[in-house]
Amino acid sequence: MNRDFLSLADAGGDVLAAMINDAIDRKAARKDWPKGKLDADAPLAGHTLAMIFEKNSTRTRVSFDQAIRQLGGSSLIMESGSTQLGRGESIADTARVLSRMVDAIMIRTNDHAKIEELAHYADVPVINGLTDLSHPCQIVADLVTIVEHGFALPGLQMAWLGDGNNVANSMIEAAGLMKFTLRLGLPQGYEPDADFVARARAAGGEIVITHDPIEAASGAQVVVTDTWVSMGQAGGEAHIAALTPYQVNEGLMARAAPGAMFLHCLPAHRNEEVTDAVIDGPASAVWDEAENRLHAQKSVLLWSLGKL
């Protein structure tokens, strides 16, 4: 059974938990293996993943490429500027053609409406590699990192500092599905998508929005931030000035719970949203988090292709 993965809700809480466990198991199984070696079961042998990039990428590109390869399949990387999609071919026609040639499509794009249209017309699963609205694959990796570091998700106390952006929206969604508390410390006018907040609260997640960074961080077991200026955004002095009080620094981390962990999806603008002392410090798990993109993508691919 093919399944689209446009949001975490497409999978649901039980499947998300299964993805986390599968990713952790696969990571452990490869601990002493050469990087190029296939997973022992190679469940996606003969499968091909088409990856469409309308936005630059490091972790999404490499992790999906290596994930499908290690699962026994192959990948095709398609830059928008070198495809007919970039010259005006419709999304619907692209979806119809690719559905006859590949087994799954991952797209990283600006407009969330594009991925919804692609999924509507495609006959193979479509995976959200990032849109302006959400970034579910990143959050699967984040949750894998949290669990492997010994934190339980139900009842977890998490703080998000900075902009209520696409990554924040997906973390809010995760809070609802996995039943943890998420306190978002952000300036007025930078709030996350209201629909994500409403759905998470209805699902049982505790979502607190505050304009006080200390209130957000106090007692948090996990502290998360993201770049203040996402790709394609103008930023500017006023934008940076509004977000500066929400920088994750040693003082703010001292407000978190003892043994708290710091996460950042990367790339980081060092000494803007996070200081060197934090991202390179003992609380930081960002390199585990980055590595876990690979193992999380495997679980997403397996579920989308009916193998999990």
- Residues annotated as part of the active site: 108, 135, 138, 226, 265, 293
Pairing mode, strands 74-79 and 104-108: unpaired
Q: Is 266 annotated as a binding residue?
A: yes
Q: Is 245 annotated as a binding residue?
A: no
Q: Is 84 annotated as a binding residue?
A: yes
Q: Is 265 annotated as a binding residue?
A: yes
Q: Is 87 annotated as a binding residue?
A: no
Q: Is 247 annotated as a binding residue?
A: no
The span from the CA of 160 to the CA of 168, in Å, is 7
Residue type, 145: T
Q: Is 60 annotated as a binding residue?
A: yes
In sign, the C-alpha dihedral spanning 6, 9, 15, 19 is positive
Q: Is 108 annotated as a binding residue?
A: yes
The interaxial angle of helices 59-70 and 286-304, nearest 10 deg, is 50
Q: Is 178 annotated as a binding residue?
A: no
Q: Is 163 annotated as a binding residue?
A: no
The span from the CA of 257 to the CA of 157, in Å, is 9
Q: Give one DSSP letter per residue of 255-279, joined into a string.
A: TS-TT-EEEE-S---BTTTB-HHHH
Q: Is 270 annotated as a binding residue?
A: no
Q: Is 165 annotated as a binding residue?
A: no
Q: Is 231 annotated as a binding residue?
A: yes
The span from the CA of 187 to the CA of 189, in Å, is 6
* Sole residue written with tokens 């005006």: 88
Q: Phi/psi class of residue 162: alpha, beta or left (left: φ > 0; alpha: ψ in -120 to 50)?
A: left
Q: Is 149 annotated as a binding residue?
A: no
Helices (H), the chain: 13-29, 59-70, 91-99, 112-121, 136-148, 166-178, 194-203, 213-217, 237-243, 250-253, 276-279, 286-304
- Phi first, then psi: what are they for 151, rounded to 5°? -95, 140
Binding residue numbers for L-ornithine: 166, 226, 230-231
Binding residue numbers for carbamoyl phosphate: 57-60, 84, 108, 135-138, 265-266, 293
Binding residue numbers: 57-60, 84, 108, 135-138, 166, 226, 230-231, 265-266, 293
